[in-house]
């Protein structure tokens, strides 16, 4: 089997793709470092809850990137402490209780409407 050479999705560098990962080793390492920094930041914060915007701004992430990491299971430990505002009802809820940045109760309501 031939190894695949691919362009890193983050920095554009050519790299040897040995797994499904679409970023190079350097970016992957940087990403892991950032993820553990986010977890540490949230866990060690004296605040009871932290709005997601604070994290997006501090770590220069988009909501979509955060969502992707979240779905990949990277923020399990901080899911109850990081909060977002439901785009439907405006309630502040932990990210652990959400689907697509809508709170669980609004998500349920939407499902019932379909
Ligand atoms: Zn890269
Ligand atoms: Zn809601």
For the stretch 27-50, pLDDT in tens is 999 999 999 999 999 999 999 999
Cα 109 from chain centroid (whole Å): 25
CA of 25 from ligand 1 middle (Å) equals: 7
- CA of 93 from ligand 2 middle (Å) equals 8
Split into its structural domains, the chain has a count of: 1
Ligand nearest to the CA of 86: 2
- The predicted model scores a pTM of 0.82
Residue 2 near residue 17, CB atoms below 8 Å: no
Q: Which residues contact 55 (CB under 8 A, 6 or more apart)?
A: 38, 41, 42, 61, 66, 82
Confidence of residue 1 (pLDDT cuts 50, 70, 90): low
Mean pLDDT of the chain: 91
Determine what percent of the chain is predicted with pLDDT higher than 90: 69
Domain hosting 51: range is: 4-113
Å from CA of 76 to ligand 1 middle: 25
């Amino acid at each position: 089997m031939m190894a695949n050479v691919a362009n890193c999705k983050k920095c554009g560098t050519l790299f040897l793709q040995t797994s499904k990962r679409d970023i190079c080793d350097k970016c992957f390492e940087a990403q892991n470092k950032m993820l553990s920094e986010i977890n540490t930041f949230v866990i060690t914060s004296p605040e009871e809850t932290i709005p997601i915007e604070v994290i997006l701004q501090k770590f220069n992430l988009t909501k979509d990137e955060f969502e992707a990491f979240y779905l990949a299971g990277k923020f399990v430990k901080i899911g109850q402490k990081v909060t977002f505002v439901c785009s439907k009802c405006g309630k502040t809820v932990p990210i652990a209780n959400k689907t697509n940045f809508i709170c669980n109760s609004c998500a349920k309501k939407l499902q019932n409407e379909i």
